[in-house]
């Protein structure tokens, strides 16, 4: 059914455009090719050139319902999903005044510097925003968002409050969250920008292997199994971003922490630093990023409370489940952007991925490898 969404939507839009001059249609696309230099796969690429994994085509439609209400929808077709078109966003916005608005529907969660333009490759210097930080399952949510922007003296201030829920696929399973609350504050003064974010939600995660492991543990240690399970547990997100950009050169970075303490899920601490120069149409840049989700095992004190004959088996189950989701890696990327023409950018990047876990429990964890990407990004 999904493959019919885009044609139907376009037909509806063509009719709407004819009868309503306030409907606006914009679009963007990323045509990306990539491969690794050996058989070790990374982010969906391997040692054969792939033209679809990182590519996408999107349309954004907005229209004025009345002088205060605007409707917006974004339809995205991703190459990694066989270009099946889906609604990424679909929401209404009510303008309270010149500084405040309320939006409701399916929205982008304002957690990162480039959250609002995450899929728009043309909007930043990379081919893909650093995955160590940006690869999270809560980039979109269903609910309401309050936006406020104004000036305090010479400082520009933007505040956003989000309330809602989300349901996404991750790590071969699905994560559901409700009672989401996310607050972000961004300030700008001349060439300097700072951003802080804090959020929480009640999360539940389901995956065949995880559910099976916990079910096998429950008859022997029901309390321990309940603690390990990620069911209606509170997750916390914290983020900090800093940026200096004087148009000739720039340096920026983001630091994030994601933790669901009362579960098997380890705390993930991720950050990146990037810098580049604008030399006419050319923008060479360098990025270092890292994620540390290789923390100490939890619940060992509960295992130690069992009789000695049961401890080895319990330890294997507890450590194995947590170890499967642990990861620690770094990546350094050297890239070049060339603004080929109006609204068209050509990009090339070479990234070296370094896995810090010698014997990862997760068989899907990538080995050390080099990833090469080229991309054409445009907006219209």
Query: What DSSP string runs through 228-270?
Result: HS-SSEEEEEEEEEEEEE-SSEEEEEEEEEEE--SSSPPPEEE
Phi then psi for residue 4, to 5 deg, are -90, -10
- Reduced to 3 DSSP states, what percent helix, strand and coil does the chain have, rounded to the nearest 5? 20, 50, 30
Is 329 inside a domain boundary? Answer: yes
Neighbouring CB atoms inside 10 A of 297's CB total: 15
Average pLDDT over residues 328-356: 97
Task: Report the distance separating Cα 347 and Cα 276, nearest Å.
Answer: 14
What the block records as the tokens of 360 is: 């990862």
Domain holding 123: CATH number? 2.40.160.10
Mean pLDDT, the chain, rounded, equals 92
Give me the count of residues in the chain: 380
Is 187 inside a domain boundary? Answer: yes
Neighbouring CB atoms inside 10 A of 66's CB total: 8
pLDDT tens-digit readout, 45-91? 999 999 999 999 999 999 999 999 999 999 999 999 999 999 999 99
Neighbouring CB atoms inside 10 A of 74's CB total: 22
Domains contained in the chain, number: 1
- Residue 266 belongs to what domain range? 93-379
Is 261 inside a domain boundary? Answer: yes
Is 205 inside a domain boundary? Answer: yes
pLDDT of residue 364: 52
Average pLDDT over residues 234-256: 98
pLDDT of residue 366: 75
pLDDT of residue 14: 41
pLDDT at 133 over 70: yes
The pTM assigned to this predicted structure is 0.90
pLDDT at 304 over 90: yes
Average pLDDT over residues 209-217: 92
What the block records as the tokens of 161 is: 């409050």
First to last CA, the chain: 27
Task: Report the distance separating Cα 94 and Cα 353, nearest Å.
Answer: 44
Model confidence band, residue 22 (pLDDT cutoffs 50, 70, 90): confident
pLDDT of residue 360: 55
Classify 214 as helix, strand or coil: helix
Which helix or strand (DSSP H or E) is residue 169 part of?
Answer: strand 155-170
Q: Which of 46-55, 230-239, 352-361 has the lowest mean pLDDT?
A: 352-361
CB 29 within 8 A of CB 119: no
Is 145 inside a domain boundary? Answer: yes
**79-112 exposure pattern, b = at least 16 Cβ within 10 A, e = fewer:** beeeeebebbbebebeeeeeeebebebbbbbbbb
CB 59 within 8 A of CB 75: yes
pLDDT of residue 170: 86
Question: Would you say the C-alpha torsion 3, 6, 8, 11 has a positive or negative sign?
Answer: negative
pLDDT at 96 over 80: yes
Q: Above pLDDT 70, what percent of the chain?
A: 93
Model confidence band, residue 330 (pLDDT cutoffs 50, 70, 90): very high
Task: Report the distance separating Cα 214 and Cα 217, nearest Å.
Answer: 5
What the block records as the tokens of 34 is: 């990539």
Query: What are the angstrom distances between the C-alpha of 114 and each of 37, 109, 148?
Result: 29, 11, 18
DSSP state of 293: -
Q: Using CA atoms in the order 312, 316, 322, 327, what is the torsion angle rounded to 10 degrees?
A: 120
Neighbouring CB atoms inside 10 A of 368's CB total: 13
Is 31 inside a domain boundary? Answer: no
CB 258 within 8 A of CB 235: yes
Is 125 inside a domain boundary? Answer: yes
pLDDT at 33 over 90: yes
Is 78 inside a domain boundary? Answer: no
């Amino acid at each position: 059914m999904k493959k019919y969404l885009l044609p139907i939507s376009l037909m509806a839009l063509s009719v709407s455009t004819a009868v309503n001059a306030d409907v606006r249609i914009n679009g963007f696309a990323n045509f990306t090719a990539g491969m690794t230099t050996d058989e070790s796969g990374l982010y969906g690429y391997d040692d054969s050139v792939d033209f679809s994994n990182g590519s996408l085509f999107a349309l954004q439609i907005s229209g004025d319902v009345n002088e205060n209400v605007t409707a917006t929808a974004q339809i995205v077709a991703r190459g990694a999903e066989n270009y099946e078109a889906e609604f990424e966003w679909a929401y209404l916005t009510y303008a309270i005044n010149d500084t405040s608005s309320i939006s409701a529907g399916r929205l982008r969660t304002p957690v990162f510097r480039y959250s609002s333009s995450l899929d728009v490759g043309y909007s930043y210097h990379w081919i893909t925003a650093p995955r160590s930080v940006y690869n999270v399952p809560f980039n979109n949510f269903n609910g309401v968002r309050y936006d406020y922007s104004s000036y305090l003296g010479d400082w520009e201030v933007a505040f956003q409050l989000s309330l809602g829920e989300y349901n996404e696929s991750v790590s071969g399973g699905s994560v559901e969250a409700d009672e989401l609350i996310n607050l972000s504050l961004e300030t700008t003064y001349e060439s300097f920008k700072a951003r802080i974010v804090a959020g929480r939600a009640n999360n539940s995660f389901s995956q065949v292997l995880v559910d099976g492991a916990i079910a096998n543990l429950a008859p022997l240690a029901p309390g321990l199994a309940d603690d390990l399970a990620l069911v209606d547990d509170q997750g916390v997100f914290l983020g900090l971003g800093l940026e200096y950009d004087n148009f000739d050169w720039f340096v920026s970075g983001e630091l994030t922490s994601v933790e669901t303490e009362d579960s098997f899920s380890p705390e993930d601490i991720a950050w990146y630093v990037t810098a580049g120069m604008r030399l006419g149409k050319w923008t060479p840049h360098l990025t270092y990023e890292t994620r540390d989700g290789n923390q100490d095992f939890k619940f060992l004190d509960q295992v130690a409370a069992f009789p000695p004959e049961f401890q080895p088996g319990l330890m294997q189950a507890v450590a194995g489940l947590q170890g499967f989701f642990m990861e620690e890696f770094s990546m350094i990327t050297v890239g070049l952007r060339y603004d080929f023409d109006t609204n068209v950018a050509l990009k090339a990047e070479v990234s070296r991925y370094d896995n810090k876990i010698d014997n990862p429990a997760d068989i899907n964890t990538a080995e050390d490898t080099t990833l090469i990407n080229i991309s054409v990004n445009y907006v219209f």
